[in-house]
Chains A and B, each alone.
Chain A
């Protein structure tokens, strides 16, 4: 099975949270339910304060804890891209997945009383477009990787605090070594 994934260049993240809002606008999520968010991690103190911005959403893991936890099989790993999806018709809103996910990706929607999360903008991927967050990222920190090598790159170069990649094998790697492993404009996989 092919696996799409994320390459997040932490040296390019400006902390602007455009990704958060682009996702909301694209996916019509309600207030308070964000599929993508930016963490602000401070270290040091005045005047040598340091602050790291980390943008993250669902990592579309190779072994998703959410999928394993779902009692009604509402969560599936879609076969073309390996995108993890929650079937809103099947979800009963028990929130097991919310507690199972080591990354906090599933988001409970208090209005529908169901759980939603990042779909990797599969509706856009299928049309040859990029995910909304990647398209909008003004620092160009967010890149999708068409064929993510989970064995080699799962959780690679993750910042301190990122949950142990060995748990679920997330399809996300980080870049902060000045490398340009993923070039902008890489085409989305032809289906």
Chain B
């Protein structure tokens, strides 16, 4: 077939005639901005825009700050080159495992002076950080709205005045906590703290302090633990941190946590693997840490490793794969179930592994884990809702090789598929087999690919055979593609079951839990300090229902509410969403369910842009002062959320902050990165409310930790009560290691963290060494066990197929999954990996009918390699690599509709109802005429895909009016390059099956993930 270039802007070298024309055109909007004098680097604008500048001088030791990136969540160590107080270049920290491979990384004992000639790598997003810090539109001073919310008119106020506004808004709810949420309404009304209840008719809701909601979008370790300390233990709200994870990939964590006893993230030891399925994951573009994963995947390929990519879109990862399987979106579990059936039918599972029922069993094969595959389930128990593990005297039961039912811990091996069990009893393995055998492999294949072309029964059996042909050295890398669906948790469990069937966890070349990190806030050894919960006099222990109902079961945790409303609940509850539920925050506030919000504090959080489907819902609620009486946003840019706040307080970018980023399990050694400011000076002798950070551009840019302490200090002044957790006596005093320790500012806090690391790791000689090297890192020699078979940092626990136990972390502690009821149907959740149709709302009604029609498409989105989250649109270098983001459509579909690349289109949700909308047409208030097509062979027919990060309507793309302190009104002109393209979110399907006034985003009722990929839209030429 004919060769062609895939990029709309021809990339020269292989076709010089095209290149000359292309590069002579100075076409992009960015070029226009550059000509207008925008600063892309902190240099004289003229010099930058006229080019011809020589490179900056080569860096010396004194020019380098080792810190950590945050352009995506990878946490890569970086080295910032700072000349004359200006950040001019970013490279990789050669000590950091993300930034250098085994043969290249410096041992931690290498002196800093000896590190200067060795550079690690950092990806294009990380490189573009110099444009993030030097962003000419960044917020430098606090703003108070000078007109209605969202009207784009602001008044500059002082930092003290801004914090006063916040203090006044939250002070009335300060420490309004209650002793007992389990009282009856009558008891609560008679209690001494009756006035503190939100509503004594519903004591379970907790105290009025819960009506203050803190929602940071992206929050880093160090910051998280600090604000938990202040808001949870100091202020007393149960809503102390609602962050973004459910729009990312939370059901992936929840599925792991359920199957691996709270261990919520595993990744392949890819460099030693022989086979890998990247399933709904894009390691070369979007997975994290992208650069480390990319490097390791290319090494895996070089080693001869076989890669299969399952993704409806042809990603860069697919481009380097042996096989691309464009599955029907959301039907991944059908493919997994077909594979499970094939593996079991052909006995290609690791029987010796699966038959091992407990950690103490004989272990001829050096396994580090064992599974519940042989455990007997009484399927008649639990009201017939999936059964419960059969218990004999408190112990699980198995069938021994003689056919006798015995305690699980009395035998070395047990039967997987016994024929001797009575009716109503089956082993977990038999239940899994039964689940996978509900349809034939051909039927599963047809669900996974209704066109019967790319995935057939033969494809499934072949894939199952190849996956099981490498012993323990076969792996599956899953990420958000498989879990950001209404069926996300169960789909992930079905895929993880494949790993479990070959027992690859902890094996070299198998699945690994990663090296992890040293503890920043836990006391793990003498001399360390518990910074998380060792809080001085007045420590609060908030209770009650989080506003998003995460970690709580409706019926048992809210008995009075349940008695009033029954099933279905007015909005869904998420007992297993251990990582929060971002998309429910604002609609719940809008519905005042289960209670009203009195003050909303957001930090680096762009809800109207980032939460799919509910843009107009979120905007309407955030504009409504009766539903959101006060809203302060701490942010670095005038994002879509900031634009709707009452007060905006400037935040430093990630290069001007402290924090302690961890790394993903792709890294097999321990790593504790330290993020620290690369510009400005921090005066630790100043108390937080004296504003310790001197930023080169504005004294109003302070660390979030310091802003929170300053806020607490002000609330103390208003209420006359102590806000515990900071100051002269921040600790309880019960731990002698805290003696004499004060906590007046962020610097004090991070010194204590670094001290914790120094003690626990035993590596650095001083906390200064940690600053000098950008963290503490285990050397690569710590990656693998001396036995040559396993990774050194292991899971080492039980692998669960059937979730009738209480995972120890990140999950609901009240009951097991099988014993927990769905808040809408009242039915018990299934405990097994299972296939769930994705095209249904959370109440269980199918909307598959919305998918019929000639111009109807499944709506997808993806993260192209040059972008991470929505924030990287502020970096012109990155935008210039894709200045015209397009809606991708398959060649055959476009031909059938008479559409071609470049056509402007409008995209309409096929779900009708309030807040459903059309995007890109002339009536679109934000994104009119911005959607145009790219016709490609790189997407499954019947789908369209839209790159994320684009489609902003704020982010300084529009002008804003600012009244300066002098009284003069200044207009800040917007940058049109930030208004490129559209995103999938505005036309994602709303879930109108729940809600009082406001509908919900489509979501997974178990893990809490929002569903990005289960919507239908029509596409028409404008």
**Chain A interface residues toward B at CB < 8 A:** 11-12, 14-18, 20-22, 24-33, 37-47, 49-54, 56, 88, 98-99, 101-105, 107-112, 114, 116, 121, 123-124, 127-130, 135-141, 159-163, 178, 180, 184-185
Contact = CB atoms under 8 A, between A and B. Distances in A.
Interface in B78-134: 89-92, 101, 103-104, 117, 119, 121-124, 127-128, 130
A105 to B, nearest CB: 8
Interface of B: 1, 3-7, 11-16, 19-20, 23-24, 26-28, 30-31, 34-35, 40-41, 43, 48-56, 58, 89-92, 101, 103-104, 117, 119, 121-124, 127-128, 130, 284-285, 290-291, 294-295, 297-298, 301-302, 304, 314, 316, 318-320, 324, 326, 453-454, 865-866, 876-878, 880-881, 890-892, 937-941
Contacts, number: 236
A47 B313 CA distance: 10
Given A21-B128, A129-B58, A15 B319 contact: yes
A81 B286 CA distance: 38
A15 B6 CA distance: 12
B101 A140 contact: yes
B499 to A, nearest CB: 25
B14 A33 contact: no
B865 A16 contact: yes
A18 B290 CA distance: 12
A139 B103 contact: no
Among B23, B454, B865, the one with the most A-chain Cβ atoms within 10 Å of its Cβ is: B23
Nearest to B56: A28
A41 B7 CA distance: 9
Contact of A112 (B51, B121, B122, B294): B51
A53 B891 CA distance: 21
A49 B938 contact: yes
A101 B17 CA distance: 10
A112 B52 contact: yes
B314 A111 contact: no
A42 B939 CA distance: 13
A129 B53 contact: no
Given A54-B14, A103-B13, A47 B454 contact: yes
Contacts of A136: 91-92, 121-123, 127
Contact of B124 (A17, A33, A110, A163): A17
B11 A37 contact: yes
Contact of B5 (A16, A17, A40): A40
Given A31-B30, A46-B938, A109-B51, A101 B16 contact: yes
B298 A99 contact: no
A141 B298 CA distance: 9
A16 B123 contact: yes
Contacts of B880: 31-32
Q: 6 nearest interchain CB pairs?
A: A161-B14, A104-B19, A30-B51, A51-B319, A46-B937, A111-B50
A30 B878 contact: no
Nearest to B40: A31
A163 B28 contact: no
Contacts of A29: 51
Given A136-B92, A136-B122, A139-B294, A30 B50 contact: yes
Contact of B119 (A40, A44, A130): A130
Contacts of B3: 41-43, 160-161
A74 to B, nearest CB: 13
B13 A37 contact: yes
Contact of B28 (A31, A39, A46, A159): A31
Contacts of A124: 58
Nearest to B880: A31
A135 B15 contact: no
Contacts of B130: 25
Contacts of B326: 46-47
A175 to B, nearest CB: 10
Given A17-B124, A47-B940, A139-B294, 12 more contacts: A18-B122, A26-B55, A27-B55, A30-B48, A31-B31, A46-B939, A54-B13, A112-B50, A116-B52, A139-B295, A161-B15, A162-B14
A101 B103 CA distance: 37
Nearest to B319: A51
B877 A184 contact: no
B13 A56 contact: yes
B653 to A, nearest CB: 16
A95 to B, nearest CB: 8
25 contacts: A14-B297, A17-B865, A18-B121, A21-B127, A21-B128, A26-B55, A27-B55, A29-B51, A30-B49, A32-B26, A32-B31, A39-B13, A46-B890, A54-B13, A54-B14, A104-B19, A111-B35, A121-B55, A128-B117, A135-B119, A138-B121, A138-B294, A139-B295, A140-B295, A163-B16
